[in-house]
Amino acid sequence: MTSWAEITDAVAVALGGNRTEGRRRLLTCWEGTGPGEHAHRCILAHYLADTESDLPAEIAWDEAALAEYAGVRDGDLVPLGIPSARGFAPSLHLNLGDGYLRRGEPGKARRHHVLGLAAADVLGTEGYGAMIRAGLENLGLRIEAARNAGPGTATGTSTGTTVHNAGPGTATGTPAGT
């Protein structure tokens, strides 16, 4: 079993500017988890998505993070300073909505935008909460711009908010089964 300390160390490396080494460490942590370790796998997939330069692989990791989130119990993320697992949902939906929009799927992006907004009531008004709310607001504006621009048009600009998907045994480094 991969420990939270190993995961947070890997995340720190990835966010600290060494994307390649951070990705390697995150993948090692992923390989050290099992199917029932939803909280660990949710966090790992969430951050692995941020290490991807390939949009389909990024989205696959974001989808894996959200799928694992379904098995996360309320207190499971306390070791990371997240008192209620529900507080992590807006970020997951923001990242997935952003990926779908950049891939030219504004309908899917809108769905995750709405789900992110619905879960945002648990976020504070400052710091992390304000950052996620701003990202959701920006995503909503970009979705509307894509809708107004017509079918098949996507805004390739990210939300500007990356909040912190390849599984073991896959050649592409994307989550197994996605």
- Summarize the confidence of residues 160-169 as an average pLDDT: 39
Q: How many domains does the structure of the chain reveal? A: 2
> Which has more confidence, 105 or 150?
105
DSSP string computed for 95-106: HHHHHHHHTT-H
Residues 73, 91 within the same domain:
no
pLDDT digits (tens, 9 = 90+) for 112-159: 999 999 999 999 999 999 999 999 999 999 999 998 887 655 555 554
In a domain? residue 146: yes
Domain shared by 59 and 92, yes or no = no
On the question of pLDDT at 169 being above 70, the answer is no
Q: State the sign of the Cα–Cα–Cα–Cα dihedral 79, 82, 83, 87.
A: negative
Would the pLDDT of 33 be above 80?
yes
Asked whether 27 and 47 are in contact (CB, 8 A), the reply is no
**Look-up: residue for tokens 């500017």?**
17
The mean pLDDT value of the chain amounts to 88
Q: Is residue 178 part of a domain?
A: no
- Tell me: pLDDT of 11 over 50: yes
Measured distance CA(163)–CA(131) in Å, rounded: 9
Q: Tell me: the pLDDT tens digits for 47-94? A: 999 999 999 999 999 999 999 999 999 999 999 988 899 999 999 999
> Would the pLDDT of 28 be above 80?
yes
Residues 27 and 90 in one domain: no
Query: Is pLDDT at 178 greater than 50 in this prediction?
Result: no
Separation of first and last alpha carbons in the chain: 22
* Residue 123 placed within a domain: yes
Q: What residue numbers bound the domain in which 44 lies?
A: 1-82
Question: How many C-beta neighbours within 10 Å does residue 150 have?
Answer: 7
Half-sphere CA count of 73, side-chain side, radius 13 A: 5
